[in-house]
Structure 1
Amino acid sequence: MTETDTTVITVSGQDSYPVFVGRGLLADSIAEQLGTGVKKVLIVHTSTLGARAVALRESLMDTYEVLIAEVPDAEAAKRVEVAAFCWQVMGQADFSRTDAVIGFGGGAVTDLAGFVAATWLRGVRLVQVPTSVLGMVDAAVGGKNGINTAEGKNLVGTFYAPAAVICDLDTLDDLPRNEILAGFAEIVKAGFIQVPEILDIIEADVDVATDPTTPEFRRLIELSVEMKARVVGVDFKEAGLREILNYGHTLGHAIEHAERYGWRHGAAVAVGMMFAAELGSLTGRLPVEVVDRHRSILESLTLPTTYPVGRWKTLLATMQRDKKTRSGMLRFIVLDDIGKPTVLEGPDASLLFAAYQAIGS
């Protein structure tokens, strides 16, 4: 690995760590970040990555005792029963505090692997290897880990920093296009809350921007990771600034729950951003042309921007259980303008309903 072909982005804070972005990073970078004190490694992955997980295991076996835990795909992985399965594998292999977990997969897998690493013996070394756009730009970076419950998404979780995050763009080359586009919702979010250059790149040529082989695509990954690194470096446990990363997520998580996680996270967040944009506009904060820009960009990525009108009561009930709610008061991230996010606390119920009507189908 050389500095000329690999970008290294540092997430600062009490437990700083590097995020590597490049190609051909898997074997060498992972071994380097695991370090010499580790003896046993658990690779958590989905069945769709079975062959790659086996290859990764073989590349590490000269140095470590490597076990594999295959887990369900997407949000089905984020259940306490699946975490318990991983704990069982680690317990039967006598994993100690000097051993390590590798999260190898999309955002759901890195969420699960982080939760498992954080809770086993109160914390073992963790290296995240995201293999989806969503995982690279959002889920694997920042140290938030969690599982879902019947009541809502990510209600059980930890703040636990990885030792490193390795974004090998080679893992995206055969990713289905709909998966790439779903991951772009989080990239668009980064553009609206802090990095307008992202929006310009997408609007210039959406096909080029979403092609993993182009410099523009890599630039978007790097810009998104840099944005998140800046935010979580200042506010690791979401006491203030980090809240801006929830733009589009309050309604988005409620939609995921309502759909029993049949919707991809990015699709739900896309609708959530449209709702937040309309809410910002209705409060007199956000110019209508910025609301229109949300819709134009998201639709160019074939992401949804509407949701059935009749589902509002169900969604509202779920949002009221969301972890972002404080003292029973709903909180939304809205924009005063592009790059100017702010917190809207306890908006009137009629205002929320009007914003939802604006995105209703």
Structure 2
Amino acid sequence: MNNIENFLGSLGLLKIEGYTFNKLLGGGSALSSLYSKGDEKIVFKFLISPRNSVELERFKLEFSVLEKNNANSVRMEDGFVLSERAFKGPQTSYPLPMIKHSLISRLGNLVNYFSYSYEDGQLLSQLDTSTYSVQDKINILYRIASGLSYFNQSGYSHRDLHPENILLLDGYHMPNSNGYNVVNDPRIKFLDMGNCQRVNTESDWLYRIERNLDENAVFQDNNRRILASFVSMPPDFLEKGESTKHYDSWSFGVYAYKLLFNEMPFEAHQIGDITALRGSRAYSEHYKDNLNLLPLGLKLILNHLLSPNGDQRPSIDAIVRLFSWLVDRNEEFQEHKFICSVIHDGGFDPNYDPRDDYY
């Protein structure tokens, strides 16, 4: 702590535009620190002396995506402009930190920083789930999945999801999904966008925000680099690279299994433990026995989430629908063939007929 404070002091960064350094929050190559001015708190993120040009572009990309993305801006004739109506959800559940200070680069790009609003919440890694029932765990997973679905509106996949990057805020509301005009309000923020990847769609050219940085250089580096938190990386990434499907769904599945059983679904000591999963489900010796302890619907969902084949993993929006069955329609979600039909149909009810709404 004192070393970081002294370091920032040597650069004249203990006070920035009236905000004073309080404490280090964490970080790897980029440092996040809490600053305050009166009762207002913000987070400054620093990249000091980047190791190479791609690391700087990565930092610039994180700022750029937080500043403007498909969830907080709309396309106008002269480009994208910030707009609350772009986000399809309650503003209290907007899933990313809000930029407070634009990116500043000094000393020939040796010192780089920006800031975003501080949110008073609890990291998922700090949540005590020791007394949670299986249903409690299903409920928190439903909430996280709903937050991720809101995050996907940004137009990016996160690609470094783990409990230290997920912030839970108070006041959330997950209503019964059997009602009309249901809007979940999970109140979750996703932190550390340094490894995000743009999600390309058929209509991407309509909604792509042009960024003043070399986005492709970052993506190319992402696709030949293994993260330190490599358990968030699906096994098929080693073969498919940027074409990997449902990357974040794998990360969600790993967390879900760890939450349910307080152990990992596979050995995770080295990268070789992940590569072993590519050709077969070489999971832990307890994996099958553990899954057999779960309600059938949850067992089959989790088994699909942890598939080494991205085509078999549900998309994030499908995960929300699947968990809504476990929360609100569990009595209908009991028969093996029906559950598989729902999973393979993206969480939708295969027996639903929209004409029934008019009678």
TM range (shorter): under 0.3
TM-score when scaled to structure 1?
0.26
